[in-house]
Structure 1
Amino acid sequence: MRIALSQLTTGPDPEKNLRLVEEWTRRAADAGARVVVFPEASMACFGTPLAPLAQPLDGPWADGVREIALATGTVVVAGMFTPADQGRVANTLLATGPGAEEPVEESYDKIHLYDAFGFRESETVAAGSRPAVIDVDGVRLGLATCYDVRFPELFRAHADAGAVGTLLAASWGAGPGKLDQWELLVRARALDTTVWVAAVGQADPGTGPGPVPTGIGHSLMVGPDGTVRASLGADPELLITELDVEEVGAVREKTSVLANRRPDVWR
């Protein structure tokens, strides 16, 4: 399966960002991509007041993404914000597009909120409570967002649900050691679960507003053996990658970390 990682930089205007999603999706489709993955906060960058711009999953921004996916024959995965309780929003990944037998339509609300490195996402964002997977032409893929990468149990849940890959969308905060952590964590989650991890972040926008997460770029595709198969630098760029479903089975024959687990010990 050909997957495109769209490492762009979004701003505060959802309509302008939707046009970016359209432009980059068309470029990816022209390159033969079946799935096009955009970063967290594709609807609007962090540092923007989120509650006033949040829209429901049947609102105009999500419908615009659906139209783009349908027009290009791709499945688009993009980060947006949906209304939640107490004046907060949900940090949502929308996955939508035509399927071989039925349309792909799923959403995932970020479970693990980024209360770290001087930023408190929980003040404006409500945590999700449900893992999500999608099926694209018979290939099952999990959905994850940014800080989720620090929590192996979510990625194991994807594998237990039959996923051969996880699509990880991020707006990774910059800072000392953060690039090393990003690459290490993405590779570790692939090794934990023997699945592919397609990790796309916002490109580096330069000087950001203090602790607000913006992006460092360095999107990467990691194989089920933990090796980096393709990667980008810091600037906006489109990465076209390949996910080999059969390789997951081959790796699991050699490294049976899922089969060798001992859940009875940890209960």
Structure 2
Amino acid sequence: MRIALAQIHSTASPAENLAVVREFAARAAEAGARLVVFPEATMRAFGHPLAEIAEPLDGPWATELRAIALEHRITVVAGMFTPGHGSEQSRVRNTLLVTGPEVETSYTKIHLYDAFGFAESDTVEPGTDPVTFELGGVTFGLSTCYDVRFPVLFTANALAGAHVQIVCASWGPGPGKVEHWELLTRARALDTTSYLLACGQADPGTLGIENPRMLPTGVGHSAIVSPLGADIARADGSVGLLLGDLDIADVETARTTLPVLANRVQL
């Protein structure tokens, strides 16, 4: 299966960002990809108010995303913001929408980025449940950004049948943070013997945009990682489209060679 990772730079405008999604989805489909993954916060970049643009999954932004996926006959994964639930309506939910001719599901980010001086939980309500989906006989597990620091979610996805782990991110910059991202994305592939598709926001600095408040607006370095933790492809910090071909037989081979899922002990 050919897949694509769209390393974009989101702005404050949901409409502008949707136009970028349309462009990259078309490019991915033209290249033969069956799935295109966009970053966390595709709808609006962090550092801007979120509640004012949050929409339900049947709202206009998501509806247009579906139309793009159907037009190009490609499954799209993209980060958006949906309203909070019940008493949490003052906060939003950090949501991945998965949509296309064969798939319709969503995942709400479980682990919120209350670290390195940023408090995502001030404005975002956490999710509670892992989510997987199937496309073309391949099972994918979903996760968002800070989730990548918590191996239990990825193990849960793998035990639910995931051959491929997806991480959509808007990674925060800072000393050692690119190294953390590269290490963690390779580790989550290796400790679940799964392919890992890590799609992050591009580094604003590559576009001449300063980030003096060190907001989590991206560092780039999106990657396709093998089930044994090796980079198959990894981007730099700039905007671009990363393509790769997944052979699920490699997952079965890795799980026979390194049966960490079968050997795990409940402590």
User: Could you state the TM-score of these two structures normalised by the residue count of structure 1?
Assistant: 0.96
| Residue of structure 2 equivalent to 1:20 | 20
**2: CA distance, partners of 1:128 / 1:97:** 23
**One-letter amino acid matched to 1:66:** R
**1: CA distance, partners of 2:137 / 2:63:** 24
Count of paired positions: 260
| Residue of structure 1 equivalent to 2:47 | 47
**One-letter amino acid matched to 1:156:** T
2:243 to 240, 245, 251: 240
Equivalent positions of 1:179-194 (< 5 A) are 179-194=178-193
**1: CA distance, partners of 2:20 / 2:72:** 14
Secondary structure (helix, strand or coil) at the match of 1:258 reads helix
2:100 to 65, 80, 97: 97
Secondary structure (helix, strand or coil) at the match of 1:173 reads coil
Fraction of identical pairs, as percent = 57
**2: CA distance, partners of 1:8 / 1:126:** 25
Task: Note if 1:139 corresponds to 2:138.
Answer: yes
Question: Stretches of 4+ moved more than 6 A in 1?
Answer: none
Aligned-residue Cα RMSD (Å) equals 0.7
Task: Note if 1:117 corresponds to 2:100.
Answer: no
- Say whether the 8 Å CA contact 1:117–1:211 is kept in structure 2: no
Report the CA distance between 1:138 and its aligned residue: 1.2
**2: CA distance, partners of 1:132 / 1:219:** 21
**One-letter amino acid matched to 1:109:** T
Report the CA distance between 1:209 and its aligned residue: 4.6
1:231 to 216, 221, 234: 234
- Say whether the 8 Å CA contact 1:118–1:211 is kept in structure 2: no
**One-letter amino acid matched to 2:7:** Q
**2: CA distance, partners of 1:209 / 1:62:** 31
Report the CA distance between 1:167 and its aligned residue: 1.1
| Residue of structure 2 equivalent to 1:153 | 152
Q: Could you list the runs of 5+ residues in structure 1 that have no partner in the other structure? A: none
**2: CA distance, partners of 1:211 / 1:231:** 23
| Residue of structure 1 equivalent to 2:82 | 82
**One-letter amino acid matched to 1:39:** P
Q: Could you list the runs of 5+ residues in structure 2 that have no partner in the other structure? A: none
Deviates more, 1:23-32 or 1:208-217: 208-217
